[in-house]
Structure 1
Amino acid sequence: MSVQVVFVHGIRTSSTMWRSQIDWLAENGIPATAIDLPAHGMRMDEDFTLHEALHTIDAAVRDAARHGPVLLVGHSMGGLLSLAYAGGEDAPPIAGVVAASCTALPRGAALRAYRVLARAMNSLPQRGQWLTDRVLAATLPVDTRGDFAAGGYAFDAQDAALSSLAALDLEAALPRIRVPLWFVNGQFDQLRVNEALFQRLVPHAELIVVPHATHLVTAMRPTVFNAVLRLAMAVVDARSRGRADRAHPRRSAAPAPDYW
């Protein structure tokens, strides 16, 4: 069975942030699902709760797992939620995790400062959209520049979502992750602050730092990020086939998908 990819977006944005990845996977015949978390994208009329966010991830993962091994991919808040989900006390049906732009513990002074900054942006005319547009125009390629905004920005959900992240116990969750794990950060990502701690908590994880990229690494360097996905899918597929061969040693091996 083919590897299934489930994408979890970051705060304020929506499933549309993954358009370049979804298009690339579709061109290569790889099944993928990009969810909208509560209070974001097509669900903007809902309230954000940690329980519902994790339930949304679980529902998408379990549906995908019926068709093949699941690679869970999250960015920023979506990465933190994916790590918490992957490291739950009951191991979920996933075969690998790519966690982008999220190697920071969401608590304490850093989280308070982030919330203050978000509130300040929301207090600006047009909620600071003009400033966001200028930053994106200066940093992102034309092809991906509109992806973060295409599903709308969840301005009203931002503070509730940020505050809820403090309840995540990542220091307990990370050591429980037994599947292959890749941390992917832009060189200039502000959330690299606990990068070394995350590596210590999950010694088998691989760290990939993308040169000259910022927090928006998925859209800033989409070709590089897609190459990481290609690597992750190849590893997940090989491990899945190895387990299947051990379980059924006499079964003839089916040709492996060409992820390269």
Structure 2
Amino acid sequence: MLPVVLLHGSRTSATMWRRQLRALDAAGIPALAPDLPGHGTRRGVRFGLDDAVAAVRSAVDDVGGRALVVGLSLGGYVAIEHRARHPEQCAGLVAASCCTSPDTPLRAAWLRIARRIERWPDSGARLNEALVRSTLDADSVHDLAAGGFALDAMGDILEAMAQVDARAALAASDSPVRLVNGQWDHFRGHERSMLAAARSGGADARIVVVPRARHLVSLDAPVAFTRAVLEAHAAVSAGRAAGAAVGSR
């Protein structure tokens, strides 16, 4: 059975995937959700893109060396970069909530804001709590909070994102790609050009839009998001089986 590796978003941790991990386990699919540098159990380590990709590589090795890699927001960008650097490990990609290219001029403004908030006495803890509680249900809040919030990681993340050329990375490999976005996600601005980039590399690439969901689509609409992951897993697994059958003739 093809394993799944799940990569969390910025300032969160692996605990955001609890519902997806339960569903994958129920389906008999092995899955692993690592913490990226600067987050969860690794909050003592500063975030860096190379280290983040290395963490994904290690996680895929831990589940057998090849996996369907699922990432949301920051995790999506890291998953895209991992697929480009280590195509032999990525049987397929589900990149969620990451369809704004990191080269957007807004990134510099976001970085200035993030560094300012990190200098607040509470590093933005009260603001973060208010945003989380006002936008998510109680189960999602509980899952997010369980791993703690990396309130001091955002500046490093935004600086690291300057190294990512998402379109070029998507074009660098031909494994299947699903770009999954909430209908009301503000990070959908470049989904068509990112889709085209993935297809230019030979990938079977598609966009999946989850109705009435926002940026944290896996938490906003956990059932619909999990269904999208399971469907991607089935499609990738079927393609691998067909390829193996052709190769054995």
Q: Do the two structures share a fold, i.e. TM-score over 0.5?
A: yes
- Is 2:159 the partner of 1:163? yes
List alignment gaps of at least 5 residues for structure 1: 250-260
1:142 to 138, 142, 151: 138
Structure 1 residue aligned with 2:205: 205
- SS of the equivalent of 2:146 reads coil
- Rounded Cα–Cα distance in structure 1 between residues aligned with 2:125 and 2:220: 19
Deviation string, structure 1 residues 129-159 (Cα, Å, up to 9, x no partner) = 3333233223222222222221111122221
Bigger Cα displacement from structure 2, 122-131 vs 51-60: 122-131
Map residues 157-236 of structure 1 onto 2, 5 A cutoff. Answer: 157-203=153-199, 204-236=204-236
Q: Would you say how many aligned residue pairs link Structure 1 and Structure 2?
A: 245
Indicate the larger mover: 126-135 or 163-172.
126-135
8 Å contact 1:65–1:94 — kept in the other structure? Answer: no
Q: Distance in 2 between matches of 1:201 and 1:29?
A: 33
1:16-53: CA deviations, max 9, x gaps?
A: 11111011112222100001111111011112221111
Q: Which runs of 5+ in 2 are unaligned?
A: none
Distance 1:158-1:82 versus aligned 2 partners, 3 A rule: same
Q: Is 1:50 equivalent to 2:49 in the alignment?
A: yes
Q: Residue 243 of structure 1 corresponds to which residue in structure 2? A: 243
Q: Is the 8 A contact 2:125 2:151 kept in 1?
A: no
SS in 1 for 2:184: coil
1:184 is paired with a residue whose SS is strand
Tell me the distance in 2 between the aligned counterparts of 1:210 and 1:125. 37
Moved more, 127-136 or 169-178: 127-136
Separation (CA, whole Å) in 2 of partners of 1:201 and 1:102? 14
The residue number in structure 2 matching 1:94 is 90
Aligned to 1:22: 21
Equivalent residue for 2:79, pick from 54, 67, 82: 82
Q: For the aligned residues, what is the CA RMSD?
A: 1.7
Q: Which whole-Å deviations, capped at 9, do the CAs of 1:96-135 have from their partners, x for residues lacking one?
A: 1000000111124211122233234434563333333233
Aligned to 2:6: 7
TM alignment of 1:33-48, pairs within 5 A: 33-48=32-47
Determine if contact 2:124/2:151 at 8 Å carries over to the other structure.
no
Is the partner of 1:206 in helix, strand or coil? Answer: strand
Does structure 1 retain, via aligned residues, the 8 Å contact 2:103–2:165? no
Percent identity among equivalent residues? 37
* TM-score of the pair, normalised by structure 2: 0.91
- State the SS of the aligned residue for 1:87: helix
Is the 8 Å Cα contact of residues 100 and 184 (structure 1) preserved in structure 2?
A: yes
The one-letter code sitting in structure 2 at the alignment partner of 1:81 is V
Q: Distance in 2 between matches of 1:147 and 1:245?
A: 41
Q: Which residue of 48, 72, 87 corresponds with 2:69?
A: 72
Aligned-partner residue type, residue 219 of structure 1: L
- Name the structure 2 match of 1:111: 107
Q: 1:120 to 1:188 in 2, by over 3 A?
A: farther
Moved more, 220-229 or 137-146: 137-146
Cα distance in 2 for partners of 1:74, 1:115 equals: 22
Q: Give me the whole-angstrom Cα distance separating, in 2, the residues matched to 1:167 and 1:241.
A: 36
Measured in 1, the distance between the counterparts of 2:88 and 2:152 equals 31
After superposition, the C-alpha distances for 1:79-107 in whole angstroms (9 at most, x for unaligned) are 0111111123x523221100000011112
Note if contact 1:10-1:75 (Cα within 8 Å) is conserved in structure 2: yes
Letter of the structure 1 residue corresponding to residue 206 of structure 2 = E
CA distance in 2, matches of 1:57, 1:180: 18
